[in-house]
């Protein structure tokens, strides 16, 4: 049963009899918390500094372009690469593209690929139930508890006292020597995401101030936006939005999170069909990642896309409507 749920979540060959998480020693816990605090705090401090400088001295067009390109590149590497390709195996692609996904996704400072994918597959397996690493729904019903749940699902879970057990959730990545080696160089790729914007800023302006501005907007400001948008997928899109499919969780299709997170806010669609490469099932549902995936397929850069047909989608929708009608009659 457990194995079936992992497969349904798009995982592969998860080892169901291993523990879900490994508790950390007090010193390891301290190290993880310091790293998490440095990443979250650094983004906030850098963003405040960038805004302060923008108010005092204005902001250059080059910095805004650097911000935009880095935002799109990092977000797509996470949504198309870390999420749809590595976590759910929604499509197949070349070794070169897989390597690029690892580099770009690592620039989001959301942890190495093994950590990211094992945490995400765990989220699908225990979605909004005990064991989910970042559900907003497991903290009680009072207002105070609601806020605690929201904070936990948005950022607090980064400071958890345990870590998802990778051998249970990502045996496929652990046994792939090339991808494993690439993701081990996480710090190199992550720091590259800070150095590159500074270098571009320096070359474009020819001044050290230009380098600082490029670093701030392509680094901390971009990370602040990418992080909050990614965290909103787990917090906001599990609280508010449409639920066209009956799933065993609170996942919802949140329009605005979908716009900013390039389709990842369509959580209800995604939890209903986790392996689907495209998350939008209606023309008006925003899914920029799905649009990019379509183009990558046409260019021959990715192949073997998984996508449910219209009848599978309609059938699942009807199951939801039928059980809703039954509940309404029962009330
Ligand atoms: Zn979810
Ligand atoms: Zn997912």
| 122-161 pLDDT per residue, tens | 999 999 999 999 999 999 889 999 999 999 999 999 999 8
pLDDT at 323: 55
The beta strand positions in 290-331, using DSSP E, are 302-303
User: Apex CA 239: angle with CA 279 and CA 29, to 5°?
Assistant: 95
Q: How far apart are CA 105 and CA 229, in angstroms?
A: 14
Q: How far apart are CA 274 and CA 268, in angstroms?
A: 9
pLDDT at 330: 39
Q: Which ligand is nearest to the CA of 82?
A: 2
For the chain, the first-to-last Cα distance in angstroms comes to 31
Name the token pair of 305: 């896309």
User: Apex CA 189: angle with CA 183 and CA 191, to 5°?
Assistant: 140
User: From the CA of 263, how far away is ligand 2's center (Å)?
Assistant: 11
User: From the CA of 88, how far away is ligand 2's center (Å)?
Assistant: 7
User: From the CA of 267, how far away is ligand 1's center (Å)?
Assistant: 6
pLDDT at 283: 96
Closest CA to 260 of 231, 292, 239: 231
Phi, psi of 246, deg, nearest 5:
-85, 110
User: From the CA of 266, how far away is ligand 1's center (Å)?
Assistant: 9
On whether the CB atoms of residues 254 and 267 are closer than 8 A, the answer is yes
User: From the CA of 147, how far away is ligand 1's center (Å)?
Assistant: 19
Phi, psi of 57, deg, nearest 5:
-125, 0
Please state, for a pLDDT cut of 70, what percent of the chain lies above it. 92
- The DSSP call for residue 253 is B
Phi, psi of 242, deg, nearest 5:
-80, 150
User: From the CA of 128, how far away is ligand 1's center (Å)?
Assistant: 8
pLDDT at 1: 32
pLDDT at 7 over 50: no
Q: Which ligand is nearest to the CA of 249?
A: 1
Q: Which ligand is nearest to the CA of 252?
A: 1
User: From the CA of 27, how far away is ligand 2's center (Å)?
Assistant: 31
Parallel, antiparallel, or unpaired for β 92-93 and 302-303? antiparallel
User: From the CA of 239, how far away is ligand 1's center (Å)?
Assistant: 10
Q: Tokens 């046409």 — which residue?
A: 298
- Burial (Cβ within 10 Å: 0-12, 13-18, ≥19) of residue 328: exposed
Closest CA to 276 of 106, 114, 124, 167: 124
Average pLDDT, the chain: 92
Q: How far apart are CA 248 and CA 237, in angstroms?
A: 15
User: From the CA of 123, how far away is ligand 1's center (Å)?
Assistant: 7
Distance between alpha carbon 244 and the CA centroid of its chain, in Å? Answer: 22
Q: Which ligand is nearest to the CA of 248?
A: 1
pLDDT at 328 over 90: no
User: From the CA of 227, how far away is ligand 2's center (Å)?
Assistant: 16
User: From the CA of 56, how far away is ligand 2's center (Å)?
Assistant: 42
User: From the CA of 62, how far away is ligand 2's center (Å)?
Assistant: 34
User: From the CA of 177, how far away is ligand 1's center (Å)?
Assistant: 29
User: From the CA of 53, how far away is ligand 1's center (Å)?
Assistant: 37
Q: Which ligand is nearest to the CA of 234?
A: 1
pTM value is 0.91
Q: pLDDT-based confidence at 322, cuts 50/70/90? A: low
Q: Which ligand is nearest to the CA of 119?
A: 2
What are the tens digits of pLDDT across the range 246-301? 999 999 999 999 999 999 999 999 999 999 999 999 999 999 999 999 999 999 99
User: From the CA of 233, how far away is ligand 2's center (Å)?
Assistant: 10
User: From the CA of 271, how far away is ligand 2's center (Å)?
Assistant: 7
User: From the CA of 235, how far away is ligand 1's center (Å)?
Assistant: 9
User: From the CA of 250, how far away is ligand 1's center (Å)?
Assistant: 8
Closest CA to 319 of 242, 244, 237: 244
What are the tens digits of pLDDT across the range 286-317? 999 999 999 999 999 999 999 999 999 998 88
- Give the helix/strand (H/E) hosting 162: strand 162-164
Q: Coil, helix or strand for 93?
A: strand
What are the tens digits of pLDDT across the range 61-77? 999 999 999 999 999 99
Three-state DSSP string of 104-161: HHHCCCCCCHHHHHHHHHHHHHCCCCCCCCCCCCCCCCCHHHHHHHHHHHHCHHHHCC
Stated length of the chain: 331
User: From the CA of 87, how far away is ligand 1's center (Å)?
Assistant: 13
């Amino acid at each position: 049963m457990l194995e079936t749920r992992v497969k349904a979540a798009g995982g592969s060959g998860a080892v169901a009899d291993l523990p879900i998480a490994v508790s950390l020693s007090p010193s390891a816990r301290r190290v993880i918390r310091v790293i998490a605090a440095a990443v979250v705090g650094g983004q906030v401090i850098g963003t405040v500094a960038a805004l302060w400088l923008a108010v005092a001295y204005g902001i250059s067009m080059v910095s805004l372009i650097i911000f935009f390109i880095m935002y799109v590149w990092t977000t797509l590497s996470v949504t198309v690469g870390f999420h749809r390709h590595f976590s759910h195996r929604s499509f197949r692609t070349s070794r070169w593209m897989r390597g690029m996904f690892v580099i770009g996704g690592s620039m989001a400072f959301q942890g190495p690929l093994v950590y990211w994918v094992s945490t995400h597959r765990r989220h699908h397996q225990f979605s909004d139930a005990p064991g989910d690493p970042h559900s907003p729904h497991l903290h009680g019903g009072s207002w105070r508890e609601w806020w605690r749940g929201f904070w936990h699902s948005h950022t607090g879970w980064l400071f958890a006292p345990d870590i998802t057990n990778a051998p249970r959730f990502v045996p496929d990545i652990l046994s792939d020597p090339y991808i494993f080696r690439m993701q081990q160089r996480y710090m190199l790729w992550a720091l590259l995401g800070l150095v590159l914007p500074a270098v571009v800023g320096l070359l474009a302006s020819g001044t050290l101030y230009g380098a600082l501005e490029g670093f701030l907007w392509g680094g901390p400001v971009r990370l602040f936006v990418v992080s909050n948008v990614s965290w909103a997928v787990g917090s906001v899109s599990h609280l508010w939005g449409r639920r066209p499919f009956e799933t065993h969780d609170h996942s919802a299709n949140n329009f605005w999170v979908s716009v900013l997170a390039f389709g990842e806010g369509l959580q209800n669609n995604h939890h209903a069909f986790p392996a689907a490469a495209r998350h939008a099932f209606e023309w008006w549902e925003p899914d920029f990642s799905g649009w990019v995936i379509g183009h990558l397929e046409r260019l021959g850069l990715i192949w073997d896309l998984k996508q449910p047909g219209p009848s599978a989608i309609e059938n699942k929708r009807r199951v939801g409507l039928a059980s809703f009608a039954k509940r309404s009659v029962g009330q």
